Amino acid sequence: MNSEKTFLEKVESTIKKYQMLPLNTRVVVGVSGGPDSVALLHLLFRIKSQYNLHLWAACLNHQLRGEEADKEAELVRELASQLRISTILESFNVALLAKNEKLSLEEAARQVRYDFLERAAKQVGADKIALGHTASDQVETLLMRMMRGSGLDGLSGIPPVRGKIIRPLIEVFREEVEKYCQENNLHTCIDSSNTKAYFLRNKIRLHLIPYLCKRYNPQLIKGLFHTSEILREENCYLKAESEKAFKSLLKKRDDQCVILNGERLSQLHPALQRRVLRKAIQQVKGNLKEIMLEHITSVLKLDENRGCKQLDIPGGFVAQRQYKDLLIKKVSKKKDVFPPCSLIIPGDTYLPGLSLVLKSKIIYDKPSSFSKDSNEAYFDLDKMEKPLFLRKREKGDRFHPLGMRGSKKIKNFFVDLKLPREDRDKVPLLISRDKVVWVVGYRIDERFKIEKDTKRILKIEVAKFA
């Protein structure tokens, strides 16, 4: 009895420590028929009156092990009936889902299981979903994620509480659970798949941990469990600090884009830099699937000293450095802001995609002075060759900026202007044959400027229209 009381005290201590069960809580308990979930259901039943709990046992048949799985579902039904707890039973063909969605069996089973538990909780109006993960599961998870090269988030292991989900057994080991089941004459099933080293978790449980305990440290499991607790606490602290940092660096946030102060981001400690960037990606992408350390590192290395730089992020997103700003945004399908069109001389040329109109006329008397408005330009018409037309920039475009010797790439001209990448295709170019006459609204070409002997002047004014 003493060992049973100690076990109960441990579980109750965990429940109180993480405030898992407020009074009058409605709880769906995930029960597979194995020792962990059976012990969990029995324990919650025993403290039911203490917390005034309302309990349901939820069991999902994954249809992976035939009669064995059917027997487990029947065992759950019988146990729940003995405890006078209502049962929610479902079956689902996990193997078919894994095949159709190209998932591993483990991943498909996990997805189906959590979807089922969420539905069950919604069905009965439950506040909590209790799962039977133990300290032994925590150690196995830590080793799995170490092997895969996880960061601190992954090494923090299985959270005791995550949203509705609670794990009251997370601080007791599997051996303690099995002993509790024996002392209370609880019938359980052993999942035969757990005895086969097909999956990484099973290999760790069946081979790696016993080998390390025998050869190196008999107390290895307890040591690793305490390590996971320390890592989880430190991870919680870093999460709070990175949340503060994210809020202080945030300049804009919507469904399509997050803009951070990239200059100040680079001044943070690398640990915070990575976390802030991951949060920014998650804000736009909705998750961090396929986001690896190399993606985070590459984005943080975007060079701010050379204007705009861009990197693809898995899932149809990009990271873009625009001088002092860092943008994480969804890639929109490119569409022509405006198609190429001829310039009407004299007359009005409309660019509906830009809500612009170019008003042109021919002048024969040279004005005494010229407007300095960037939306008004004057050219020597006789230096131009027809056809004159407007289009967006193309790769390799160059021109001779007024007042400068030699030519310059349009791309570099835009970089010098610090014009955002997404705005560059919205700037029309006036073209004479294959020459750029005017970067509309910015600079005319030296070759088409008005000279002393100019006879005909082409004047163009740019205006907005509704």
Per-residue pLDDT of 359-377, as tens digits, reads 999 999 888 888 888 999 9
Distance CA 29, CA 266 (A): 46
Does any domain span residue 236? no
**CATH number for the domain including 34?**
3.40.50.620
Q: What is the pLDDT of residues 29-78, one digit of tens each?
A: 999 999 999 999 999 999 999 999 999 999 998 887 778 888 888 999 99
So what's the pLDDT on residue 5?
Answer: 62
At residue 117, the 3 state secondary structure works out as: helix
Confidence band, pLDDT 50/70/90 cuts, at residue 257: very high
Is residue 438 within 8 Å of 376, Cβ to Cβ? Answer: no
Number of domains in the chain: 3
Is residue 29 within 8 Å of 80, Cβ to Cβ? Answer: no
At residue 408, the 3 state secondary structure works out as: strand
Return the closest-CA partner of residue 124 out of 58, 48, 78, 79: 58
Identify the weakest region by mean pLDDT among 169-183, 199-213, 237-251: 199-213
Does any domain span residue 430? yes
Whether residues 402 and 320 fall in one domain:
no
Whether residues 80 and 221 fall in one domain:
yes
Whether residues 286 and 351 fall in one domain:
no
**E strands of 147-291, at which residues?**
161-162, 165-166, 250-253, 257-261
Whether residues 13 and 141 fall in one domain:
yes
Domain span at residue 449 reads 341-464
So what's the pLDDT on residue 1?
Answer: 44
What are residue 205's phi and psi, to 5 degrees? -65, -45
Is residue 457 within 8 Å of 414, Cβ to Cβ? Answer: no
Choose the final residue of a domain: 310, 330, 350: 330
So what's the pLDDT on residue 465?
Answer: 85
At residue 337, the 3 state secondary structure works out as: coil
What are residue 29's phi and psi, to 5 degrees? -105, 120
Confidence band, pLDDT 50/70/90 cuts, at residue 176: very high
Does any domain span residue 233? no
Whether residues 370 and 320 fall in one domain:
no
At residue 417, the 3 state secondary structure works out as: helix
Whether residues 407 and 456 fall in one domain:
yes
Does any domain span residue 242? no
Choose the final residue of a domain: 185, 211, 227: 227
Find the DSSP H helices in 166-208.
174-183, 200-203
Is residue 321 within 8 Å of 262, Cβ to Cβ? Answer: yes
Distance CA 136, CA 107 (A): 20
Whether residues 74 and 22 fall in one domain:
yes
Does any domain span residue 298? yes
Q: What is the DSSP letter of 364?
A: S
Distance CA 251, CA 295 (A): 22
Q: What is the pLDDT of residues 23-41, one digit of tens each?
A: 999 999 999 999 999 999 9
Task: Name 377's bridge partners.
Answer: 460
Whether residues 360 and 318 fall in one domain:
no
What are residue 37's phi and psi, to 5 degrees? -75, -30
Indicate the average pLDDT of the chain.
Answer: 90
Cα radius of gyration (the chain): 34
So what's the pLDDT on residue 228?
Answer: 92
Q: What is the pLDDT of residues 110-132, one digit of tens each?
A: 899 999 999 999 999 999 999 99
Whether residues 353 and 299 fall in one domain:
no
Whether residues 298 and 363 fall in one domain:
no
So what's the pLDDT on residue 115?
Answer: 94
Distance CA 172, CA 18 (A): 15
Whether residues 8 and 131 fall in one domain:
yes
Alpha-carbon torsion (207, 209, 210, 216), positive or negative? positive
The structure tokens listed for 271 are: 């640990």
Does any domain span residue 388? yes
Among 29-33, 255-259, 312-316, 402-406, the range with the most confident prediction by mean pLDDT is: 29-33
Choose the final residue of a domain: 305, 330, 355: 330
Burial label for 164, CB within 10 Å (0-12, 13-18, 19+), is middle
pLDDT mean over 422-449: 93
So what's the pLDDT on residue 137?
Answer: 94
Distance CA 132, CA 170 (A): 8
Which of the two residues, 239 and 2, has the higher pLDDT score? Answer: 239
Does any domain span residue 104? yes
**CATH number for the domain including 295?**
3.30.465.60
Does any domain span residue 138? yes
